[in-house]
Structure 1
Amino acid sequence: MRRHTGLQIGIGAMLVAGSMSMAVSAKAAGDHKDMVLIPSGEFTMGSNEHSDEVRHQVVLDAYLIDKFEASNARYKEFMRATGHPAPAYWDDPRLSKPEQPVVGVSWTDANAFCKWDGKRLPTEAEWEKAAKGPEGDNHYPWGHHLDPKKANYGQNVGRTTPVDSYPEGVSGYGVYNMAGNVFEWVDDWYDPKYYRTSNALNPRGADKGYNFANQGPVKVLRGGSWLAPETSLHTSHRFWNQPENNSYGVGLGFRCAKSASVVSDEAAQAGRDAFIQALVGMGAEKNADALASIEKALAADPDNKEYLATRDLIKKSMKK
């Protein structure tokens, strides 16, 4: 009996050690399919290229951003689910393949899609940090020198390319096509003087957009496109358009973002303690106790995938 108990404790200890390691790795990697976790921290926003790109330091909380631009296939799901009308160029054979990025969308269209998908448009600062990578100041997503083999721009291809194209041109965070393919809407209003007064912490853009030639206030566009010249590819380049306008529609798309859930240190520790107890309970074949413990862990950290998977395992064991 003692030998059996010792074996149970040993198994429990091994499960604890291994699962704690996996839990940390899973949490660090992010929990959302086809999204990239951008960690909290500081980066240099802006450049010396243009007067509206004044260099300044920005600190952002952790967030997630789509690894790929929104595709035609995904946008079709959105239209079917909501009855949202098709964008411009929907039937253009150069641009309408499922794996190509959706184009011809207004800011309003892009915003509606992201809300339907449980996300939001990224802020301008979030977009730029994801493009510049961990180094925090890359001129292009891949580094400091232009490489025509790493982006679709300047009509070199003559159409958009699939959202997972140019893997050699991804940003340091692993985000695709942050230079070229399609211009991307972000959440912010555009003001050419905003960088001179913006908040250093989680800037959200100007309170209202600049009104060019009385055509209406404008939102920010980022990233260049398959039609645009190489000067639009640098990670700090700012462009703009009225939110209801898709006049650049043949090369105008988007990607979504999401705020990362933040668990306090105290809650995280409470969750880990309860998780350990659940694993020990599993090792001792005390599934009822294990289930109670894992529920405590989830109360502290509801989105933890390791805890959710462990609860499923316990419930399966209880049904045998």
Structure 2
Amino acid sequence: MPRLPAISLLPAACLAVALACAGGPARHPKAPPEVPGMVYIPAGPFLMGSDDGFDDEAPAHRVVLPGYYIDRQEVTVGEYRRFARAAGREVPRAVGHALSGRDELPVVDVTWEEARDYCEWAGKRLPTEAEWEKAARGTDGRRYPWGNEPPYHGGRHWACYAATLFHNPVYPRIVPGDFYATDRSPYGVLDMAGNVAEWTASTYDPYPGNAFSSPLFGKGLHVIRGGSWRSSAELLRVTRRRVASVAGYHRNDVGFRCVRDGGG
């Protein structure tokens, strides 16, 4: 089973000093190899969490990650169907009914275990919360993958979320991964604000230094990240955490994407 990467926390006050004192001539590392369907997220620090969101998002803190690859789009119905056929698994109920014949759409209605098993079958793994958030927001601390502007501005919606159904009910609830090209992170990863929410490898626990107490902390329940077609604008923020409240949890707005180690 693939191992999750080590995460090191770096206090904000120390980060600038560490970067300024690195010393030595500038190095130009070799570009990582391209992996079809995946985006490389370079090693380094980023700001995780928020001090002005929900209690479990605090405190904002610096996290340092090694380099890794993440799927550009969410795993599709067609991709999951190939896994189910190869592994002798049943497809999720939504795939056999509502999403029948729509292989280009993100797969939903999968449990955490099913998502994990697919990623392992594909030679990958589920992303940690930190990996997911860095891929979604980059290193500038933005609120949404595209920046700090609200999801509806400039006369159009920037992601697939609940308001798109209200304003234009002919839009489908779930759309192909490249339907909203504006829902794009600084690295070019798609649909990390809307469309379907996504499983992570992380369990629901407080961030270091957070005094907030939740009865769900420490229960081994897994975190879901990203908004979906059911979400309000406030729930599309890249720092928002959602937790599967029971074992075996699955919903028609929850899918997943995978990562793989990339060195660096």
TM-score (normalised: structure 2): 0.77
Q: CA RMSD in A?
A: 2.3
Give the 3 Å change call, closer, same or farther, for CA 254–96 of structure 1 in structure 2.
Answer: farther
Aligned equivalent of 1:232: 235
- 1:170-224 deviations in Å (ceiling 9; x for gaps): 1010000000111100000002x23427xxxxxxxxxxxx76499x641100001
Larger Rg: 1
Aligned equivalent of 1:194: 207
Separation of aligned partners in 2, 1:29 and 1:261: 9
- Equivalent position SS for 2:94: coil
Amino acid in structure 2 at the alignment position of 1:258: R
The 5 Å alignment of 1:93-112 reads 93=98, 97-112=102-117
Q: Does 1:137 align with 2:145?
A: no
**Shift of residue 243, structure 1, vs aligned partner:** 4.5
| Larger helix percent | 1
Give the 3 Å change call, closer, same or farther, for CA 87–58 of structure 1 in structure 2.
Answer: same
**Shift of residue 230, structure 1, vs aligned partner:** 1.3
Amino acid in structure 2 at the alignment position of 1:137: G
1:51 to 35, 52, 55: 55
- 1:143-190 deviations in Å (ceiling 9; x for gaps): 001133221011623410002221122101000000011110000000
Aligned equivalent of 2:21: none
Aligned equivalent of 1:68: 73
TM-score (normalised: structure 1): 0.64
Aligned sequence identity (%): 39
- Equivalent position SS for 2:115: helix
Aligned equivalent of 1:119: 124
Separation of aligned partners in 1, 2:101 and 2:133: 27
Aligned equivalent of 1:16: none
**Shift of residue 29, structure 1, vs aligned partner:** 5.1
- Equivalent position SS for 1:231: helix
1:31 to 28, 34, 58: 34
Separation of aligned partners in 2, 1:261 and 1:116: 21
Structure 1 unaligned spans of 5+: 1-23, 198-209, 263-320
Separation of aligned partners in 2, 1:170 and 1:95: 27
Amino acid in structure 1 at the alignment position of 2:195: N
Residues 163 and 176, structure 1, Cα contact 8 Å, conserved in 2: yes
Separation of aligned partners in 1, 2:53 and 2:263: 35
Separation of aligned partners in 1, 2:140 and 2:32: 19
Q: Does 1:163 align with 2:177?
A: yes
1:219 to 213, 219, 222: 222
1:177 to 187, 191, 206: 191
Amino acid in structure 1 at the alignment position of 2:142: N
Amino acid in structure 1 at the alignment position of 2:174: T
**Shift of residue 67, structure 1, vs aligned partner:** 0.3
- 1:70-107 deviations in Å (ceiling 9; x for gaps): 00010011011101221131233367611100000010
Amino acid in structure 1 at the alignment position of 2:182: E
Residues 69 and 163, structure 1, Cα contact 8 Å, conserved in 2: yes
1:128 to 133, 136, 150: 133
The 5 Å alignment of 1:10-21 reads none
| Larger strand percent | 2
- Equivalent position SS for 1:93: coil
Separation of aligned partners in 1, 2:99 and 2:193: 20
- Equivalent position SS for 2:63: strand
Residues 38 and 173, structure 1, Cα contact 8 Å, conserved in 2: yes
- Equivalent position SS for 1:89: helix
